[in-house]
Chains A and B, each alone.
Chain A
Amino acid sequence: MPMKLAKTAFAALTILFLVAPLIAILPLAFTSSVILTYPVPSWSLRWFEELFTADAWRRAIVNSLIIGTGTTLLATVLGTAASLGLRNRLLFFRGSMRTLFLLPMVVPAVVLGVGMQVLLAGFGLTNSYAGVIIAHTVVAVPFVVVSVTGALAGIDERVELAAQSLGASPATVFRRVTLPLAMPGVLSGAVLAFATSLDEVVLTLFVAGPNQRTLARQMFSSIRENISPAIAAAAFLFIAATVVIGLVVVLSRSMLAKRR
């Protein structure tokens, strides 16, 4: 019995350690005070107002949406096409290509950032939206590849062969059979790509100019320079977005599971 009690206590404490920090930051988004401490003197929405009216924060939110959308489109198209190509088992170098596609997840962001700044400076792309979108796509594309390859692996190839034998052209098979079946994977890959772009700080520090400050970048510098409850309000938005994103992924996964 004491063993069981100890196990329960350990599990409860660890869950507390994992989850409590995320919950603790939420009420501070609604504080009326200018400092980020408990107890909260009274409740107000002034920091959300600050977030949507102060120029720096508002521009950061808009930039995050622009860059996130661009990254999602580019990463999803490139990643989905490549995952379809990787289905061909006869392909030479299939394994090494897969490794290359996943490697941006492994390489430390600062290392990639230094190289990216040197390279983009050569192209004249530093301090431009295109440069930031390219940098974010590099680190977002592995998530799309993992997600879409997973969905494609779950497709029974006999379904496609059946469509082919009934006279469908390769393009029709792709449009009417393969793509709909892979859609949940494509969607969750796109969501992950957007989330990656939203949270990316290090590459943004290296390649973005003052006009491309994203929300994450703005949070980073305000924690560093002048911390205010606006951080908690931004964190609240992030967590709310996470819950929505999580629901989308869970739903698309269960759709995928049902289709199988």
Chain B
Amino acid sequence: MSQYIEWDALGNIVLWGLIVGAGLPTLFALGVRAVEGPGARDEEGHIPTFRKILGGLCFGIAALAVVGAIAYIAAGGH
């Protein structure tokens, strides 16, 4: 079978796929939880600064990943 399947490449795709493809949505979900999760807003409906920063960090990393992916496509690395 090994002549038909490139196991190395496949293993890398699965590993990095899980890290990036499942990790980024999870990070995004943590960001959502930070700014809109239970207890995120005080009585007046404001979101505390540390939660905003935490959420911004999560969304920021996700946005950076998108920019990085565009750069990667543009660089012809696909």
Whether chain B is bound by chain A comes out as no
Residues of chain A touching chain B, judged by Cβ–Cβ distance below 8 Å, are none
Residues of chain B touching chain A, judged by Cβ–Cβ distance below 8 Å, are none
